Amino acid sequence: MAIFKGAGVAIITPFYEDGSVNYEKLGELLEFQIANGSDAVIICGTTGEASTLTHEEHLECIKYTINKVNKRIPVVAGTGSNCTDTAIYLSQEAEKYGADGLLVVTPYYNKATQKGLIAHYTAVAESVSIPIIMYNVPSRTGCNILPETAVTLAKNVKNIVGIKEASGNIAQVAKLAQLAQGCIDIYSGNDEQVVPLLSLGGLGVISVLSNVAPRETHDMVAKFLEGDVKGSLDIQLKAIPLIDQLFCEVNPIPVKAALNMMGMEAGTLRMPLTEIEDVHKENLKKAMQEFGITIK
């Protein structure tokens, strides 16, 4: 049984101007996502700036989200770390709070061999009972989960059930799907490749775009899964210029700027991330307006 099918939002973490977490605004963003059809919420991932949250803030964001959402849609907690013991600690705490699943990124900086990835994910998974989605994003971590490794883990560790594939390598995803034969749920980690990944048997997307266009992102996946491939593709292609601008600088710099332009008060960023460049902001604003998003 999949943790979710459809569009899961990789939600931002809103901050006050002093850099502290704005939980009230996080609650408003969660309600916005639920009201507009998001199929799941992923808290404390890359887009949520988890790497600059303290452990206390990280866990409080997870706990707050689980309580606020209150089982209306699945909550997947980002609990990965480059330290296996830390990933285990965060994962066990998230399970205690009632998370529906975990998103566990590959170890970054120190990286790992494929043997190390198997050991790391096995240790984390065996420390909890809730399902785990592995997160493969080599551009950020310098570490790639090979298809053979993902399948080995899915077949041998009962609660490793999915993978967020953000390698950008469709050939790799195709090989994964061929080897897996349905033993692992595949989610797109790239908003510009949702339809291609769905065509390979994927179940949905863990999306940055959904922060600003939740209804359209939901519909893109729902239409495909319902058999309306053309309708799904139309949304995908229409969204490409906006997606390009949402990644014109490192995520989540542009998406936070976009939310602020929408009047959503996402707040500032934590260093080393800095505010979007003026020229990029103007291009982003234009793309948002052309997509039909109201600027306030």
Q: Is 296 a catalytic residue?
A: no
From CA 232, how far away is CA 220, in angstroms rounded? 5
Rounded-to-10 torsion of CA 115, 58, 28, 246? -50
- Cβ-Cβ contacts under 8 Å for 145 (sequence gap 6 or more): 106, 114, 117, 134, 136, 163
* 3-state SS, residue 78: strand
Nearest CA to 170 out of 141, 147, 193, 145 is that of 193
Q: Is 135 a catalytic residue?
A: yes
3-state secondary structure 100-122: CEEEEECCCCCCCCHHHHHHHHH
From CA 101, how far away is CA 132, in angstroms rounded? 6
* 3-state SS, residue 53: coil
Nearest CA to 194 out of 162, 219, 226 is that of 219
Per DSSP (E only), the strands in 129-266 are 132-136, 160-165, 185-188, 204-207
Of residues 25, 63, 68, 135, which has the active-site annotation?
A: 135
From CA 131, how far away is CA 103, in angstroms rounded? 9
Strand partners, 207: 9
Of residues 25, 164, 223, 256, which has the active-site annotation?
A: 164
Q: Any long-range contacts for 180-186 (C-beta under 8 Å, 24+ apart)?
A: 180/147, 180/150, 180/151, 180/154, 183/151, 183/154, 183/155, 184/150, 184/151, 184/154, 184/160, 185/2, 185/3, 185/133, 185/161, 186/162
Q: Which residues are catalytic?
A: 135, 164
